[in-house]
């Protein structure tokens, strides 16, 4: 009798162990895997899929999109790495990025710059809104100088006049970047 009780407890413990291992493997498979883009390592949020990568002389642009439930729009997460070969001002590049975004949108307005840290490095961030073809658009852009030679621009945007869940997920990923 005692032997069958011990065997039953062993089998139950083994089943619990196997279920726990399966749950851990499933969680690991669903966790965002880090992606390296130039000197930056980012964990792309769940639901974002690779959209494009463009390589130009001294510039690498990588992007991901996440469709909203009805498929009517996509949140954009984009990283642009410029190999300037020398130290450059993240603030200067953020102003340039905002000017470029503003030229392609009507009713454009940007927030004041916020001085923050990304991966322990000084960085700047600004949010903005405007419209494209009569549709409201909102976004956030960040810039940081890395290893005294790379200027990294990180951008997220979506349709609407207020930040979406996709923008918040992208911002969280951006604000959690690491360096390679």
Helices marked H in the chain: 2-30, 90-103, 165-174
Whether residues 63 and 136 share a domain: the answer is yes
Whether residues 97 and 117 share a domain: the answer is yes
Whether residues 97 and 168 share a domain: the answer is yes
pLDDT for res 68:
76
pTM: 0.80
Whether residues 37 and 93 share a domain: the answer is yes
Whether residues 70 and 157 share a domain: the answer is yes
Whether residues 56 and 97 share a domain: the answer is yes
pLDDT beneath 70, residues of the chain: 1-32, 70-72
pLDDT for res 24:
40
- Which distant-in-sequence residues (6+ apart) come within 8 Å of 138 by Cβ? 127, 128, 129, 157, 158, 159, 160, 161, 162, 163, 164, 167
What is the domain-level CATH number for residue 168? 3.40.1000.10
Whether residues 26 and 49 share a domain: the answer is no
Whether residues 55 and 117 share a domain: the answer is yes
Look at the chain and report how many structural domains it folds into: 2
Domain containing residue 60 = 33-179
pLDDT digits (tens, 9 = 90+) for 166-178: 999 999 999 999 9
Whether residues 153 and 163 share a domain: the answer is yes
């Amino acid at each position: 009798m005692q032997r069958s009780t011990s065997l039953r407890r062993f089998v139950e413990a083994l089943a619990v162990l196997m279920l726990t291992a399966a749950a851990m493997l499933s969680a690991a498979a669903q966790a965002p895997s880090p992606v390296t883009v130039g000197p930056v390592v980012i964990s792309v949020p769940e639901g974002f899929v690779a959209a494009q990568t463009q390589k130009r002389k001294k510039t690498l642009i990588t992007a991901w999109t996440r469709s909203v439930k009805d498929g009517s729009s996509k949140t954009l997460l984009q990283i642009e790495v410029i190999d300037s070969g020398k130290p450059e001002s993240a603030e200067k590049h953020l102003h340039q990025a905002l000017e470029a975004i503003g030229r392609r949108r009507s009713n454009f307005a940007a927030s004041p710059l916020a001085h923050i840290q990304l991966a322990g490095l000084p960085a700047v961030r600004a949010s903005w809104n405007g419209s494209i073809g009569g549709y409201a658009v909102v976004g956030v852009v960040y810039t940081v100088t890395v290893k005294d030679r790379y200027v990294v621009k990180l951008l997220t945007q979506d349709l609407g006049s207020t930040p979406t869940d996709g923008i918040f997920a992208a911002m969280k990923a951006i604000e959690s970047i690491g360096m390679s």
